[in-house]
Amino acid sequence: MQIANSVALVTGGASGLGEATVRTLAGAGGRVMILDRPGSAGDALVAELGDGVAYAPADVIDEGQVAAAVAAAVERFGTVHAAINCAGVGIAMRTVTREGAHPLDLFTKVIQVNLIGTFNVIRLAATQMVKNTPNEEGERGVIVNTASVAAFDGQIGQAAYSASKGGVVGMTLPIARDLASLGIRVLTIAPGTFDTPMLAMAPEPLRQALAAQIPFPSRLGRPSEFAALVRHIMENVMLNGETIRLDGAIRMAPK
């Protein structure tokens, strides 16, 4: 898929990995609909990047809001060729704490946003993609999800987060198979430790310690590197049904 003149829906697109993806795709001539929560920096990013970018305030777990965002992309740009799922949340809590059992509502929230929210966007975006005229490769669309190395190397306190990201990994291949006959590719990126706004709030000694765990390069990942992989996935039609670790060869220790 050519980036220029394509239309991408990017969830969590107002910050972090999503923002870097928006910037990369827009910079390559793509048109982008940012889907992010109300109160995010979506409007500011649109003001900065111009007419090729728009913003739809929405929560990924809300069927009506996501459907409205897809419709807004179609109204503004004509269709949707790609959906990049970057929206996500995380908590750190042991299964049993001094206060008692892990609250079930917190576990449920992480699963709702990271797993169910991702599937909600996939199914609604793909329903629009099937209306596209296939390109010369027979391709109608591309979906890129965001998992985490925690899907494979979950640490102490990451039961909810690892379960949600493991679910994203687990559904990648079957959804790719579901959509193959329709000309829609589905892939997942599993980032390691990246320098996102969430990590920016951590004390500098902790940031340095996290970076030191990465074999090479021994630094935090840059959001632009995640975005570069998204771009390559979109452009390389042979990539499909795979989860790609983007982690500098890190394998997370128990804590």
Residue 199 lies in a domain: no
Instruction: List the CATH number of the domain containing 102.
Output: 3.40.50.720
Residue 206 lies in a domain: no
Residue 200 lies in a domain: no
Active site residue 55: no
Q: For the segment 76-122, what is each residue's pLDDT rounded down to a tens digit? A: 999 999 999 999 999 999 999 999 999 999 999 999 999 999 999 99
Closest CA to 34 of 96, 99, 84, 100: 84
Identified catalytic residue from 161, 210, 245, 252: 161
What is the sign, positive or negative, of the torsion defined by CA atoms of 24, 226, 165, 212? negative
Instruction: Say if CB 1 and CB 26 are below 8 A apart.
Output: no
Instruction: Give CA–CA dist 21/91, Å, rounded.
Output: 24
Closest CA to 15 of 195, 211, 206, 150: 195
Residue 209 lies in a domain: no
Question: What pLDDT, on a 0 to 100 scale, did the predictor assign at position 72?
Answer: 98
With residue 213 as reference, give the H or E element that holds it. Answer: none
Whole-model pTM?
A: 0.96
Domain tally, the chain = 1
Q: For the segment 135-150, what is each residue's pLDDT rounded down to a tens digit? A: 999 999 999 999 999 9
Distance from CA of residue 100 to its chain's centroid?
Answer: 33
Residue 253 lies in a domain: no
* Parent domain of 156: 7-193+226-245
